[in-house]
Structure 1
Amino acid sequence: MDSEFTKDIAELLHLPRQKTLSFYIVFLTAVLPVWSVVPISWAFVAYSLLSASLWTYAWYGRALFAWALCEVFFSVYLYSLARLISGSSPHGPASLIELQSAFKRSLQAGLAFLPEDGSDEEGGVRPGSPTEDIIALDFDDPRAVDFRNYMRTWYGKVPWSSIRKHEVYAWLSWSIYNAPFPSLESLPEDEQEILRSAMSMLEKRAGIAIPDGSNPDSSPLLLTLDPINVAWRPFVWYAFIAVGNSVLRQYLKVKWRASIGNYNGLEYILRMPLTRSWSPETGPHPIVFVHGLGLGLIQYNIFLTQLMEAIPDRPVLVPLHPHASQEIFHPRFLNPMNRHESADCLAGLLRELDWVEQHRADNGEKLDDEPKDGQRPTGVTMVSHSNGSFTHAWLLKAHPEMIYRSCFVDPVTFCSWEGDLCYNFIYRRCATGLELLMKYFVGMELGVANFLQRHFDWSANSLWFQDIPNACDPSKTKFFLGGKDDVVDAERVKRYLTSHGIRKGLWFDPHGRHGEALLSGGKGHKEILRWLREAS
């Protein structure tokens, strides 16, 4: 077996990466100045009070003291919020049947021998991974080798041979029950049986039995159970974001006559076309843009402005997510909508706007008002970026008939069961300046950390090829990936899509970074706008 392990890519040591010059530049010029505001404020307030020099300050000195005191109080408030979310995840596991189905589908992914060149043929002869039986693979079967290599990502990329059964059961207990794993014998018999069955399927897929025992050096990544990773930032940071997003809301209202609305707790921006002749029955399909993690409108304002300029003949709807926009003063900052609430609110809003057919009654039963033969189908063109692809996936799963066209830009919903997303964004040590920027200014922010590390639902967030209507029709579905994406393994996502027949519908930039396709002037940006304009 040792000779076999030496040839196994899942046994290659994952060596620590060396920090680049850009890491230190970003640390010294961006991270350190923002981080240091809080301790400097504490030191200044303490010195001013203990030395009684506060009463000797001029007006600008007292103004500086007032700001520092504000930072001190805010840091205590921020600390209390961090303590509040440091406990266990507030949400229990999803439906057991749904979880078992998702787990089985994740094991089936990559089992079928599908050509990776793609065909873009809707309804072509492609069996798809979900039709494959999970059989015991040989140890050196390429499918087993590949599975072991990406599966070890959930264990910090340690050599596969170091992983033991206790740690695998701990990972299975988290992924199925969102609960820690004490021991197999301490669990109820039905849970033991489910975990044993999952272990058996996993071993078949890996092509090898996992040794008994435990190895603490191969502890799994348990995203919603592990200690939450939050870095403080000053009050002035959050104030800048709140003011900036508020100003941009007003700018969109004045510049584009957009309206700011709220539907059952879902805030949104709606720009209707300036021409009064548009109607959902005859006009171009409305566009719904779902943004990702970051700074909200501050981050996406340029793209939204260019989108409204390039496509003035149809409505543009932008749902706003305060938990993903660092809007700490919003009442739902630490209470993000779950998949059901988010999908239902967005679906209800689309119905209220009369953009979609009422295919389901409130009790979930289907109605008889499907589009008739020859009638133009209603629905929206949904564009999602990064974390927004989760909301995109939720609506596709709950109300697929509402989405006429789909555009995924830097999607994180595909292959998320493989662990790269969680590892890269939460657990990986930064080595470059871009990684440090994303980690400190986004990933370690309180609201983002709360969403990812306490509200993450991997089965709901995973989107499968079979869940996308017209996935192989490049005029109906488009995917944008960057080969240098620091968040997801774009090559693996590309392989997953092309193996299911996507070719013309995939825009892959080998040198593209995460978010680069939205930057003005780039080829990806131009292609997004061209694709959105090409169909009515």
Structure 2
Amino acid sequence: MIGPSTVEYIFLRASILFLHNIAPISLLYFALFITSFLLNWNPQAYRLPFPAEVWLLSEAAFYTIVFLPYENYLQRATTHPEPLTQEERANLFARCHKHVSDPEKYIRQWLLGAKSIDIKRENVKEFIRWAFWNAADVLQGDEDEVEDYVRALEKLLGRSIPHGKGSAKSLRLTLDKVNCSHRSLFWYLCVSVVDTITFCSMLYNGFHFHRTSLTCFIELFPFRPLTLVSTYESPAKHLTYWHRPHTSKTRLPILFIHGIGIGLYPYTNFLRELNTGDEECDGDVGIIALEIMPISSRITHSALEKDVMVHEIQTIIKYHGWTKYVLVSHSYGSIISTHLLKSPLTSPAIGNIMLIDPVSFLLHLPDVAYNFTARQPVHANEHLLWYFGSKDIGVAHTLARRFFWSENIIWKEDLGLAVEQWGEGRKVTVAFGGKDILVDTNTVGRYLMDASSKGLQTGDQAMGMASEVKVAAASGLGGAEREEWKTRPWMGSGLEVLWFEQMDHGQVFELERTRRPIIKAIGVYTQLKGTSLL
């Protein structure tokens, strides 16, 4: 993530201005080009050098022939999950209701920051119908239940909600328009260059690329010519991934799932460092790093449905013979992690977990949805998130047509239930940045650490590295007083938090000193005790 400085702001806004105006300039030049011939103007007076002319005419053709029809195609209504039963809705509402710390903010942000005077009963009901029925309208018999939820919100607010309908409009991701921005051929050329750098870096670091069938080559744009030389093929239909073979008999392998952005490029150093600097390791710790292309600045297939994604990941895991692994994910990857944890197909194989900047906790709160899709950007980092994240055509479609919050949310109790599956318990660490502009990390952190396990000592090795991890996490990251759970020593047991006071969303991967405590914690998580994996 970019910082909030004035220089970065000017650079970013200039970059966005350039990229955003390529299409209109290209169309204008194309119109001038055609008009000059139709009106018998001297074309040479208006012609640019041949390479520039080819580029602009290509951009104009790409916008009109590819982007506009594709944007219209993506507006199709989605297929929502099976509706919840009345009991399931009531339980979900009660759970959400219990964890709303700021009721006024909760209501206002779900209604796109509307003023309280503009929010009336029908506006709130409109939101509730979408949130708990996945619909714009419900059966007449369900309206009483909707009214019950409104009354419960009134008690939470400590005031009544006026009857009628105000001017407020609710945020209903899966019903609203897919709101995306055009991406130029020049931008996709940049993506292709970054992809090539990532490809070479991963190969250099000992990873093998597993492509999909060669017949699927044209289903991804920009094209990836280097993938044609890969001799490894993915056992899954849609998912490509990078694999480093697992040779250690005393460690567990790692499954890594990235977040929204430009693929695995921001994580190459992190993935390289996961298996370095450990002299006691008897071999390499295997890693599978999935590529989730619909959220990686590409034009490709729609984001996979939950069950399809789980099935394809399980197919990959079985293909490599893994029976248990450490799950590591970042940002949007926590949504896929949630599906893996909830599925009886994949959950038994998941050992310890590291969630970095997760977005799946307290997802009923409006922060993630509002900050990513509706907030008007002001600072440089907000513009970066807005233009290069939420306005990307694949990301916008994923969030508007494939993102069902009630399926994607995970509760602390879900992690507790998972603990009972293993004799020693599943260990979970959540890494947060104190300056995160997407997630309300203070609220989520308090929720996770309230009445949670305080990290019992689990052995000499966990004890030995506990202070090292915590010191590395805290050093140089701000000396202001923090809440106790933010500075609690990491013990390698139960549910714990690593807090990085000055880090924004995703910034923890940028510096070696902030990657180090996360990598050390994962290293402890991979350790087997008296058990041979192979």
Per the normalisation by structure 2, the TM-score is 0.76
Q: Is the 8 A contact 1:27 1:433 kept in 2?
A: yes
Q: 3-state DSSP class of the match of 2:274? A: helix
Q: Is the 8 A contact 1:470 1:477 kept in 2?
A: no
Flag the structure with more relative contact order, 1 or 2, with Cα contacts below 8 A and sequence separation at least 6.
1
Match of 1:414 among 357, 361, 370: 361
Q: How much does 1:60 deviate? A: 8.7
Q: 3-state DSSP class of the match of 1:256? A: coil
Q: How much does 1:316 deviate? A: 0.4
Residue matched to 1:510: 501
Deviates more, 1:341-350 or 1:382-391: 341-350
Does the C-alpha gap of structure 1 residues 354 and 101 become closer, same or farther in structure 2, counting only changes over 3 Å?
farther
Q: How much does 1:32 deviate? A: 0.8
Q: How much does 1:190 deviate? A: 2.9
**Root mean square deviation of aligned Cα:** 2.9
Residue matched to 1:91: 79
Percent of pairs with identical residues: 25
Does the C-alpha gap of structure 1 residues 433 and 507 become closer, same or farther in structure 2, counting only changes over 3 Å?
same
Match of 1:462 among 385, 405, 409: 409
CA-to-aligned-CA distance 1:44-85 (integer Å, 9 cap, x gap)? 333334335897599992222211111111111112111112
Q: Is the 8 A contact 2:354 2:428 kept in 1?
A: yes
Q: Does residue 180 of the first structure (1) align with residue 125 of the second (2)?
A: no
Q: Does residue 259 of the first structure (1) align with residue 185 of the second (2)?
A: no
Q: Does residue 390 of the first structure (1) align with residue 358 of the second (2)?
A: no
Q: Does residue 169 of the first structure (1) align with residue 160 of the second (2)?
A: no
Q: Does residue 442 of the first structure (1) align with residue 409 of the second (2)?
A: no
Residue matched to 1:215: 166
Does the C-alpha gap of structure 1 residues 54 and 414 become closer, same or farther in structure 2, counting only changes over 3 Å?
farther
Alignment of 1:85-484 (within 5 A): 85-88=74-77, 90-97=78-85, 98-109=88-99, 146-160=102-116, 162-181=118-137, 187-216=138-167, 218-246=168-196, 248-249=198-199, 251-253=201-203, 255-260=205-210, 261-262=233-234, 263-273=236-246, 277-278=247-248, 282-309=249-276, 313-328=284-299, 330=300, 332=301, 335-356=302-323, 379-398=324-343, 399-468=346-415, 469-470=418-419, 476-484=427-435
Does the C-alpha gap of structure 1 residues 71 and 397 become closer, same or farther in structure 2, counting only changes over 3 Å?
same
Residue matched to 2:224: none
Does the C-alpha gap of structure 1 residues 298 and 50 become closer, same or farther in structure 2, counting only changes over 3 Å?
farther
Q: Is the 8 A contact 1:26 1:437 kept in 2?
A: no
Q: What amino acid sits opposite 2:27 in the alignment? A: W
CA-to-aligned-CA distance 1:141-197 (integer Å, 9 cap, x gap)? xx6xx333333321233454652110111001111232224xxxxx53333243234
Q: How much does 1:219 deviate? A: 2.3
Q: What amino acid sits opposite 1:286 in the alignment? A: P
Q: How much does 1:200 deviate? A: 3.8
Task: Give the paired residue count.
Answer: 444
CA-to-aligned-CA distance 1:25-57 (integer Å, 9 cap, x gap)? 145421111112222222233333433589759
Residue matched to 2:458: none
Q: 3-state DSSP class of the match of 1:381? A: strand
Within 2, Cα distance between the matches of 1:308 and 1:47?
A: 57
Q: Is the 8 A contact 2:274 2:523 kept in 1?
A: no
Q: How much does 1:210 deviate? A: 2.5
Q: What amino acid sits opposite 2:206 in the alignment? A: W
Q: Does residue 40 of the first structure (1) align with residue 11 of the second (2)?
A: no
Q: Is the 8 A contact 2:30 2:57 kept in 1?
A: yes
Q: 3-state DSSP class of the match of 1:406? A: strand
Within 2, Cα distance between the matches of 1:482 and 1:188?
A: 43
Q: How much does 1:87 deviate? A: 3.9
Q: What amino acid sits opposite 1:188 in the alignment? A: L
Q: Is the 8 A contact 1:296 1:325 kept in 2?
A: yes
Q: What amino acid sits opposite 2:432 in the alignment? A: L
Residue matched to 1:51: 36
Q: What amino acid sits opposite 1:37 in the alignment? A: I
Q: 3-state DSSP class of the match of 2:377? A: coil
Q: How much does 1:512 deviate? A: 1.4
Q: 3-state DSSP class of the match of 2:517? A: helix
Q: Is the 8 A contact 1:154 1:423 kept in 2?
A: yes
CA-to-aligned-CA distance 1:316-360 (integer Å, 9 cap, x gap)? 0011111110121x3x1xx1112222122212322332212xxxx
Q: What amino acid sits opposite 1:211 in the alignment? A: P
Within 1, Cα distance between the matches of 2:28 and 2:43?
A: 17
CA-to-aligned-CA distance 1:357-386 (integer Å, 9 cap, x gap)? xxxxxxxxxxxxxxxxxxxxxx21111111
Residue matched to 2:523: 533
Unaligned runs of 5+ in 1: 1-18, 111-142, 182-186, 357-378
Deviates more, 1:20-29 or 1:167-176: 20-29
Q: 3-state DSSP class of the match of 1:511? A: coil
Q: 3-state DSSP class of the match of 1:382? A: strand
Within 2, Cα distance between the matches of 1:48 and 1:511?
A: 52
Residue matched to 1:362: none
Q: Is the 8 A contact 2:266 2:510 kept in 1?
A: no
Q: Is the 8 A contact 2:361 2:411 kept in 1?
A: yes
Q: Is the 8 A contact 2:208 2:243 kept in 1?
A: yes
Q: How much does 1:254 deviate? A: 5.0
CA-to-aligned-CA distance 1:88-129 (integer Å, 9 cap, x gap)? 3x122444135544333211336xxxxxxxxxxxxxxxxxxx
